[in-house]
Amino acid sequence: MTIDAFPPLDELFVRRRFDRIGFSPLVATAYRALLRDAHRALDDASVPSDGRRVWIVPGRIEVLGKHVDYAGGRSLLCTVERGIVLVARRRDDRVAVLRDARRRETVSIAFDAPTRSALPWAVYPRTVLRRLIANFGSAVHGADIALASNLPPAAGVSSSSALTVGLTLAFSALSELAALPAWRTTMTDRAALAGYVGALENGTDFGQLAGERGVGTLGGAQDQTAILCSEPERLEMFRWAPVTYERSVPWLSEYAFVIGVSGVVAAKTGAAKERYNRAARTAHRLVDAWNLHGGARAHTPARTLREAFEASSDGPVTQVPSALLDAARAGADTEFTANHLIARIEQFFEETFVIVPRAADALANGDVPQFGALVDRSQGGAERALENQIAETVHLARYARDLGAHAASAFGAGFGGSVWAMVPANEAERFASRWRDRYVRTHASAAHRALFFVTRPSVPA
């Protein structure tokens, strides 16, 4: 399927019968358990059952494309067979009440007199509502929402973006925002909606829709795009800033993903947020350096690092342009040294112009050894240049390869999180057990939070 083949948003593309989505029996059973919990949370709060609507929003795997979306690079993506379910009903007042059915936590947000909540996840509904109200005003209605999740939190599988996507879908549908001219002209397809939710999270403008504070991270729209635009049994290749669909390649049916959650929390709040944002600020510093020191062609400001590459090359980008390296050296300082900036340039070039497109070709051709070699290059680049790998994720990737995985890589923001491994589907459960045993022997302190599960590329929200 191409992005043009997705149903228009005004045809309610998210409406599918649960029994026709194509979930395996085990996955369907898990989601039904989440739905029961969410409905029960609303029942316990005496929320009427009529008018309830349901959304299923999966997590995602960043197969390749490490820290490139905010810089205009390329990524290869899919969703997982785990996610968040939201059961929601419109309210007649300007209050949103959100209940986490499994944690038994509640957040109440009054539109006209917002109060702070000590719950860490409260930042996401607050952010969604602030942005929707800023862009669509009094059309936004209150809601009772119950959510339940089987995604490991702060593990790199994008549980926070799944929540943000789900809340945006729920509030916009309950408020019938799709009937508004501003929505219709901006959210023209899934990719546009993904770009908007990405801007909602990072606080930037989106078309004529002005930005708000966001959640404080400087990410792009990669996670939201994977969640909204993936198709089952396929990997999707997108280019960023703006969200641009490039191609889709079939996942090889005889293989599965095994996800190894390190148990080291990959939060993007507090000090961890600053570490995450440093990787983004490095890319922005390189763009600023190109604009200041890149020569005559820099009179048109480069909006992304990819554009800086393309502006400094006379044809297809086949190597790191010397002009961009010179600009990096000229723009270095004590915070961003020349060595650091150049390593980041090289990592971005490899990921965007070499690894992602060639890996897509390798999968399309069934060349698993080539795919694995390219994934190893990507992991090596992250370890050298991104400053976001920790011993646990580095070791998980290496252990997976030692145990026979055809490819393995850390993914997500880093500073914790998870690693995916590509293994034969008929060996996946046994591999997961062996991988876990090997990891626990070395990293016993993280073992009680570690999680290993098998998945395949799954459906979108």
Strands 451-455 and 255-261: antiparallel
Length of the chain (residues):
461
Q: What is the pLDDT of residue 87?
A: 98
Residue reference for tokens 């998870």: 418
| Average confidence (pLDDT) over 52-76 | 96
CA distance readout (Å), 101 to 36, 37, 104, 148, 255? 10, 6, 5, 5, 34
Q: Are 84 and 248 in contact (CB under 8 A)?
A: no
Write the CATH number of the domain with boundaries 3-251: 3.30.230.10
pLDDT of 153 over the 60 cut: yes
Taking the C-alpha atoms of residue 166 and residue 46, their distance in angstroms, rounded to an integer, is: 23
Which CATH code fits 260-455? 3.30.70.890
| Distances 290 to 9, 308, 317, 342, 362 between C-alpha atoms, Å | 38, 7, 16, 12, 33
Kind of pairing, strands 143-149 and 95-100? parallel
443: pLDDT strictly greater than 60: yes
**DSSP sequence for 349-393:** HIIIIIIHHHHHHHHHTT-HHHHHHHHHHHHHHIIIIIS---HHH
Confidence at 15, pLDDT banded by 50, 70, 90: low
So where are the chain's domains?
3-251, 260-455
- Residue pLDDT, tens place only, 278-313: 888 898 889 888 888 876 454 455 578 898 888 888
- What global pTM score does this model have? 0.93
Q: How many CA atoms lie within 13 A of 271 on its CB side?
A: 2
The per-residue pLDDT for 11 is: 47
The answer to which of 23-27, 274-278, 340-344, 436-440 has the lowest mean pLDDT is 274-278
Q: Do domains 3-251 and 260-455 have the same CATH topology?
A: no
pLDDT reading at 348 higher than 80 = yes
Give pLDDT, residue 299. Answer: 47
